[in-house]
Structure 1
Amino acid sequence: MTSEGIPPAIGIDMGMSHSCVGVCRHQDKFEIIPNERGYPDTSSYVAFTPTECLTGDRAYHQVTTNPANTVYEMQRLVGRRFNDPEIQKLIKRWPFKVIKGTYGLPKVVVEYKCKQKEYSAEEISSMLLVHLKNLAKSYIGTTVKDVVITVPLYFNDSQRQATKVAAHLAGLDVLQIIDKPVAAAIAYGLHMKTSDTNVLLFDLDYSTFDVSVITTDENGKLTVKATGGDTHFGGIDLLEIMVDHFVKEFNKKNQMEMDITGNLRALNRLQVGILSAIGALVSNTETTISIESLYKEIDFSTRITRNKFEYMSKSFFRKCIETLESFLRDAKINNTDVDDIVLIGQWTMIPKLQQLLREFFNVNELFKSINAVEVVAHGATIHAASLIREKSEKEKTLPTLSLPNIVPLSLGVDAHDGVFSVIIPRNTPIPAEKEQIYFTTYDNQTSIPFNVYQGERSRAKDNKWLGEFEVAVSPAPKGKSKAKVVFSVDADGTLNCWVKEFTTGLKNKIIIDNDKHKLSDEEIKKILKDAEKYKLEDREYIKIMRVRNVLEEYIYNVRRKMKTIGGTDKTRLHAEEIKKMETAIEAANEYIDGNQELADVDEYKKVQNQLQKLCVSVIAQLV
């Protein structure tokens, strides 16, 4: 706790290549937490070895010696599907293996403790978050729980939800997910401006280049006006230019027979030396790259001036400015419309790039007083402190209430398709009574069975089974007969389930005793944790079941249409066409039956589109 009795506020900048964490322990006193080596940023890498799982900078050093089991760039993978074209491109260049997991979600495959393991991107991200959480805990001496996490502006809802899942798996409570440029704007107090302002945020990271314009108004509201850039361009491109130059220099000095191009360890050591030199040239006009025994016990040493570095890097700087020009042109924003420029990312510290930006916007000053590596985490921490302060003030003013008993886990049924249909949601105060209507799912159905479950997973069988009952219904075409299911939980927590069929009025009822099925607090916590862990899989499962049900409904309707075609009409259709349609319908049915678990949304849609093209062309001949 802080001296004001408010818990410390934590802000985390989850970067593609590096991450940074900040803390606010006292009123308006913000600190960036150093990692084990004293640096403000930590490598966003996780590596697996025969004996342990490494995270952060220790994992980064496994890249050359253990590439297949060193995982990075998980922000590109979270919340996305395996068949995503972008993911397929990335898989081809990543040294680690990515496979198609349950419901079409990607899984990373590694060797860990001599066994093959599969992890989701969210699980890998959670390992990194645990590392950052432990850094914060060691630094401030107290448990870390509440946090604000930043993500790229272009993240969609699934990617943001996936980030929350990763945080939950790491034992963190997410106060809010905010965009990186918004966090940087907050760090400079732009949310406190009382005038209309256009702020350009120039974010050049190791592997991404993001540009955005945020507007402020008299009320301090920050609004994203435009965003762009290149998610596959960054400092790594500059590093490759430098590495290529010095590899040629080394080969030339050593008469080419000492070519180091294929030696990953030598190239990695050269990269480290170049990165150090680039950092030194930020504040010095010249420096030395010196590496002992770079290759076959041959040392490498060379001096490089800032002017030479800028000349070598001119194509990189040109690409930065061209991308910026393209962004402003697409956003229909003139460079004269930009009031302030905020620099984000270590590569924006390069003096030449800052000079080009000042010339491009014709300004004297750039917002760079806060370290560009730390600025996003700084803003996230400020925002976290604000949210925690608001939360604490509200708790002080709230009266003490005697909370009613609640339903600890959702209650519902699996009516027919394996999906958990919730009738009474979790946290509903008891006593409670709710109802749902269910329909028959095939022609001439004579009864509707109901299995009762308790839990938070989307798939019924992943929850706790409580019992079953059924009701007789009048035989009729699919969807014509229906029944009302009522769940009632009394003050003692006993669940009464009863069902009534509408046409005949037939009823059935079961009572599920609370004492028999009551779960312990630990069991409830585990169920909730599992629900959060598999949240993305469950969401994907629901999507799959929806398109699968749509396909089944289409097949059913086509078959009904074929039955209504009279003998005279059928003579108007070629027998081969009828046979072709019947074969296609049967193939679609077999596909459904044979892919209950692994088919994904796109595959079901593809089957339906192919079936529709064929059936529509045949049936249209009757119109």
Structure 2
Amino acid sequence: MAASNSKCGGPAVGIDLGTTYSCVAVWRHDRGEVIANDQGSRLTPSCVAFAGDGDGAERLVGDAAVNQAALNLTNTIFEVKRLIGRRFSDESVQEGIKLWPFKVVEGREGRPTIVVRHDGDERQFVPEEISAMALAKMRETAEVYLGKTVKNAVVTVTVPVYFSNSQRQATIDAGAIAGLNVMRIISEPTAAALAYGLEKMPVTNRARTVLVFDLGGGTFNVSLLNVDPGVDIDMGVFEVKATAGDTHLGGADFDNELREFIRKHGSSDIKSNQKALRRLRTACERAKRMLSSMAETTIEVDSLHQGIDFCITITRSRFEELNNHLFARCMEAMESCLRDAKVDKNSVHDVVLVGGSTRIPKVQGMLREFFDGKELCRSINPDEAVAYGAAIHAAVDMILREVTPLSLGIRTDGNHTMSVVIPKNTGIPTKKVKNYTTLYDNQTGVLFAYKGESASTKDNNLLGEVELSGIRPAPRGAASLDVTFDIDANGVLNVSPEDRAHRGEEQHQHHQPQRPPEQRRNRAHGSGGPEAQDEANQVNRSSICDNAITHIGSTITQQSIIILQYWLGSCLWP
């Protein structure tokens, strides 16, 4: 392996920001190294807690946060990855609120906002800020190991393949708040494929078709890739052919199904007892792990509710029965991925398991059965492979081609017809231009951008909308618009409609003031006194991107984030 330096000559860092656990790796001495935290573990819980009052007030991240959770439920935040970049009204957010002991309210612009009590005051944080605290912990872990700061390091952070524009942007913003130079966002299965292809794949002079099955704590991803590692590390070619997944499917859902079964069939109702529910969930997670190696196990919780001890025996078959519908969703997504790639299952050379939930025997059994007894690749650590691959990508120049997981387009008429501009599984980065004309005389209107596979936008997800002004009156069909969809290597979409009649004229942009990244960074690192905290709470958080349109000026800092950009004086219509 020839490459020894990162793409910028500084440290190369890869971070897997997971739903339940996070992991960090670095590239040095021509190889990747997964780093242990201050507790000696290479996995750090993605958990943040606000504890104590007065001189004892502190913010805890990782194992320390988990260890005090039972005594501080409402101020211990976990699974924030299921909130980041989403709207408060999203169905998945509302379902999560029913299960989380901490408080989530609707904040500015319809975004979920987490409310905690800390040092006697009520404080609010958007998901990006909580994620930034977890990322800062990963940064600190890397700095202790390297003996130097990673402020100027090249950092690759991974996300699920189905993360939307707003979720990807929010992840980048969280990195900026944490003081990281996030060079690239890549999908989790692609990162795992890098780790497998460069470290564990059989030595061959031919490309191989690799299916990465990534079932983690909160998300599920599956990708099919053509992998050619090349004769040297910087000559590798990794090309994603198709991808599928679910941003709300993982080990936490298996735990919840088991917990709900026990709650409904228990001798007493503990639905309103958050402390009991948390203890039961922890016991269910432990039982799930035990059932990966045992046929049955016992769930015991002393004084679970009203001083009554709880004990129940759960078999592996019952656990599998409770979660059959979730296992089926995994297999349906995998089959969809193969269909989209137009690849027969017999043409798959390697099936690589990634994510802690792939240890579940039922998952492995379904995969072996589907692939007619094929031996599954378990040579890479399923918990660490994503961070390891991210570090490789941060360090080494190689050809990496990802795809957009869903079709992208606009609504073109009053019947909610979806006009696809970029089909799903199109390689990125990419740029597509499509021409449209007005439907009515003197028409003005709004550009609605969607993602999804339905012919009707009613069944697809709205990415954003732009109210356009300065449109010159024109008869039906007289105005002609070129709509450009431009996706960068991070999977971030930029949409720009241009009126052909105005081409070449000066375009005007709407400027929106950006909150200095340092102010947001101070909140992530806990700096600043009460006055700074109060000021930070009042800052317009719309500068942290969501799935509405972000208007930006002509001077864009590295922390500025583009979702959809438009020019006033262009026009499009619903």
Give the alignment's TM-score, normalised by structure 2.
0.60
Whether contact under 8 Å (1:273, 1:291) holds in the other structure is: yes
Bigger CA radius of gyration: 1
User: Cα distance 1:140–1:263, how it changes in 2: closer, same or farther (>3 A)?
Assistant: same
SS of the residue 1:188 aligns to: helix
- 8 Å Cα contact 1:70-1:96 kept in structure 2: no
Given that 2:212 and 2:354 are in contact with CA atoms closer than 8 Å, whether structure 1 keeps it comes out as yes
2:389 corresponds to 1:379: yes
Residues in 1 aligned to 2:50 and 2:251: alpha-carbon distance in whole angstroms:
26
Q: How many residues align?
A: 410
The one-letter amino acid paired with 2:206 is S
**Equivalent position of 1:12 in the other structure:** 15
Which residue in 2 is equivalent to 1:263?
273
**3-state DSSP class of the match of 1:132?**
helix
Q: How does 1:76-225 map to 2 (within 5 A)?
A: 76-79=82-85, 82=87, 85=90, 89=94, 93=98, 95-101=102-108, 107-145=113-151, 146=153, 147-189=155-197, 194-217=205-228, 220-225=236-241
Question: Paired residue for 1:54?
Answer: 60
Change (3 A) 1:87 1:536: farther
Q: Secondary structure at the match of 2:396?
A: helix
Query: Is the 1:175–1:387 Cα contact (8 Å) retained in structure 2?
Result: no
The one-letter amino acid of 1:269's match is R
The answer for the alignment partner of 1:537 in structure 2 is 543
Which residue of the partner structure matches residue 402 of structure 1? none
Percent identity reads 41
State the alpha-carbon separation in 1 of the partners of residues 85 and 317 from structure 2.
43
Rounded to whole Å, the distance in 2 between the matches of 1:88 and 1:7 is: 39
1:189 match: secondary structure: helix
The answer to whether the 8 Å contact 1:64/1:264 transfers is no
Secondary structure at the aligned position of 2:357 is classed as: helix
2:85, 2:167 within 8 Å by CA — same for their partners in 1? Answer: yes
Q: Is the 8 A contact 1:79 1:536 kept in 2?
A: no
Superposed displacement of residue 151, structure 1: 1.4
1:119-157 superposed Cα distances (whole Å, 9 cap, x missing partner): 333222211111222233334444334222111223345
| Alpha-carbon offset, residue 184 of structure 1 | 0.1
Query: How far off its partner does 1:358 sit?
Result: 0.9
Alpha-carbon spacing, 1:292–1:228, altered in 2? closer, same or farther (3 Å): same
Letter in 2 for 1:214: L
In 2, the alpha carbon distance for the partners of 1:221 and 1:76 equals 32
Q: Provide the rounded CA distance (Å) in 2 between the counterparts of 1:54 and 1:378.
A: 26
Q: Is 1:209–1:234's contact at 8 Å kept on the other side of the alignment?
A: yes
Please report how far the alpha carbon of residue 531 of structure 1 lies from its aligned counterpart in structure 2 after TM superposition. 9.9
User: What SS is found at the alignment partner of 2:376?
Assistant: coil
Which residue number corresponds to residue 537 of structure 2?
none
Two-structure CA RMSD over aligned residues (Å): 4.3
Measure, in 2, the Cα distance between the counterparts of 1:148 and 1:305: 41
Equivalent residue in structure 2 for 1:237, among 245, 253, 268 = 253
In structure 2, do the counterparts of structure 1 residues 186 and 44 end up closer, same or farther at CA, with 3 Å as the change threshold?
same
Q: Match for 2:162: what amino acid?
A: Y
Aligned residues of 1:212 and 1:227 also touching (Cα < 8 A): yes
Structure 1 residues 556-567: aligned runs within 5 Å: none
**Does the 8 A contact of 1:22 with 1:377 survive in 2?**
yes
Deviations along 1:490-523, whole A, 9 cap, x unmatched?
A: xxxxxxxxxxxxxxxxxxxxxxxxxxxxxxxxxx
Cα 1:42/1:365, change in 2 over 3 Å: same
Secondary structure at the residue paired with 2:382? coil
Alpha-carbon displacement from aligned partner over 1:95-125 (angstroms, at most 9, x marks no partner) = 4233333x66654443332223333332222
Corresponding residue for 1:419? none
Unmatched segments (≥5 aa) in structure 2? 399-469, 471-501, 507-514, 523-539, 553-563
Q: CA deviation at 1:64?
A: 6.0
1:365 partnered with 2:385: no
The structure in which a higher percent of residues are helix is: 1
| 2:327 paired with 1:317 | yes
Query: For the structure 1 residues 230 and 144, does the alpha-carbon distance in structure 2 shift closer, same or farther, using more than 3 Å as the test?
Result: same
Q: Do 2:222 and 2:337's aligned partners in 1 also have CA atoms closer than 8 Å?
A: yes
Q: Distance in 1 between matches of 2:397 and 2:319?
A: 44
- How far apart, in 1, do the equivalents of 2:117 and 2:196 lie? 44
Counterpart residue type for residue 117 of structure 1:
R
**Is this contact kept in 2: 1:47–1:54, CA < 8 A?**
yes
The alpha-carbon distance between structure 1 residues 35 and 263, as it changes in their structure 2 partners (threshold 3 A), is farther
- What is the identity, as a one-letter code, of the residue corresponding to 1:40? R
- For residue 379 of structure 1, what is the amino acid of its counterpart? G
| SS in structure 1 at match of 2:144 | helix
Q: Does 1:335 align with 2:342?
A: no
Structure 1: segments with no counterpart, 5+ residues: 389-440, 442-478, 484-525, 547-600, 614-623
Correspondence 1:276 to 2:261: no
